[in-house]
Amino acid sequence: MRGSEFADLKAFAAIAEYGSFSSAARTLGISPSALSQRMREFEARLDVRLLNRTTRSVALTKQGQALLDSIVPLFAGFDQAIAELTSTSGEVGGLLRLNISRVAAMYLLGPHLKRFHDAHPAVTLDITIEDVLSDIVAGRFDAGIRLGETLEKDMVAVRIGGRRESMVVASPDLIKRLGGPESPRDLHRFPCIRFRWPGAMNVYRWEFERAGETLEVDVEGPLISNDTAMMLTGAEQGLGLAYLLDVEARERVEEGRLVRLLADWTPPFDGFYLYHPSARQMPKQLRAFIDFLTVRVGR
């Protein structure tokens, strides 16, 4: 089986499990439109309709149900294999201490907590959620999850969740009133919602890149926050443009609650990494956690 076929089956199983493209897409870390396109291409290659779609729901066809019945034991076997992979002398168990950014906890780990517990019921997760970059060695954490650009060079890191991209978004009402910027250089004409790193005094400068040109822009506006949920709320209420990760804003864009701007200036980047101090004598529960996440959310 090719990797793309495995990914298609995993996506199909997620749609069947959650009964909607939006919920399945959230679990997989992609947009509903990308997931819908993937399924259309998958059905075209198979020359079989697997899903009946309406504006409000999605249901399996007879052929789709037959495929699901076939692959459920397959995925159960994968989970069991992962559970057994790190255990040569009994069950994987013990305490696993993690330090994770808020967005990684919500969009990468949160949707899979029960699956991990089902695969490794003897492992206790002790999760600290904070956006300030912590010293995981001094804090006696086993591992952390952060954006790759923030990691220290001496850490062992595994990319999880695939590539990500930033989004500049605004409410439809604001766009109706003020229009939209054609270039990052136009942002001085628009109110913007700014982000301050927790524990820091400096406000984040918006970063852009296109055709080899890079820009950093100091924006102005009525709201500064260290919480992206507050920034999303402000953007939806029309307070200004916001600069956010795709996993935070994409669903609202798909639903029409926000409009994406300057998309050609925000190319994909490496995204999130799970990192830990050393690969030597890695705890079994950490090895099991890494294997589980890389299967569930990809690299």
What is the reported pLDDT for 2?
59
Q: Do domains 3-85 and 94-155+271-297 have the same CATH topology?
A: no
Range 3-85 has CATH code 3.40.50.880: no
Q: Quick count: other Cβ atoms within 10 Å of Cβ 71? A: 15
What is the reported pLDDT for 210?
93
3-state helix, strand, coil split of the chain in percent (to 5) is: 45, 25, 35
Burial class (CB in 10 A: 0-12, 13-18, 19+), 112: middle
| 214's tokens | 């890079």
Burial class (CB in 10 A: 0-12, 13-18, 19+), 153: exposed
What is the reported pLDDT for 29?
75
| 90's tokens | 């009994």
Kindly give the parts of the chain with pLDDT less than 50.
86
For 207-221, the pLDDT digits (tens) are 999 988 999 999 999
Radius of gyration of the chain measured on its C-alpha atoms:
21
Give me the residue spans of the domains in the chain: 3-85, 94-155+271-297, 166-265
For 258-267, the pLDDT digits (tens) are 999 999 999 8
List of long-range contacts for 195-200, beta carbons under 8 Å, 24+ apart: 195/224, 195/225, 195/226, 195/228, 195/231, 195/243, 196/224, 196/225, 196/226, 197/131, 197/132, 197/226, 198/130, 198/131, 198/132, 198/226, 199/132, 200/132
What is the reported pLDDT for 25?
83
CATH of 94-155+271-297, one of 3.90.1300.10, 3.40.190.10, 2.60.450.10, 3.40.50.300: 3.40.190.10
Homologous superfamily of domain range 166-265:
Periplasmic binding protein-like II (3.40.190.10)
What is the reported pLDDT for 183?
96
Q: Which residues pair with 254 in a beta bridge?
A: none
